[in-house]
Amino acid sequence: MDTVKVLIQGYAQKLPGGRWNATSTTTLVHSEGKNVIIDPGLFPKDIKAALEKEHLQISEIDWVVSSHSHQDHTRNSKLFGKEKVYNPFLLYKKIPDGLVIPSKKIKAIFTPGHVDKHIAFLVDTAEGKYAIAGDVFWWEDGEEQKTDYESLLEHLDPVAKNQVLLQESRKKLLSMADYIVPGHGKMFRVPG
What count of other Cβ atoms lies within 10 Å of the Cβ of residue 172? 17
pLDDT band per the 50, 70, 90 thresholds, residue 91: confident
Q: For residue 83, is pLDDT > 90?
A: yes
Give dist(CA 174, CA 6) in Å, integer: 19
pLDDT mean over 61-79: 96
Q: For residue 42, is pLDDT > 90?
A: yes
- All structural domains of the chain: 3-189 (3.60.15.10)
Give dist(CA 80, CA 77) in Å, integer: 6
pLDDT in tens, 119-167: 999 999 999 999 999 999 999 999 999 999 999 999 999 999 999 999 9
Positive/negative CA dihedral, 112, 115, 117, 121: negative
pLDDT in tens, 154-190: 999 999 999 999 999 999 999 999 999 999 999 999 9
CB-based contacts of 88: which residues, under 8 Å, 6+ apart? 65, 95, 99, 101, 108, 119
What pLDDT is attached to residue 181? Answer: 98
Give dist(CA 165, CA 192) in Å, integer: 23
Secondary structure E strands in the chain: 3-8, 11-14, 20-23, 26-31, 34-38, 63-65, 99-101, 106-110, 119-125, 128-138, 179-184, 188-189
SS3 label, residue 129: strand
What pLDDT is attached to residue 93? Answer: 72
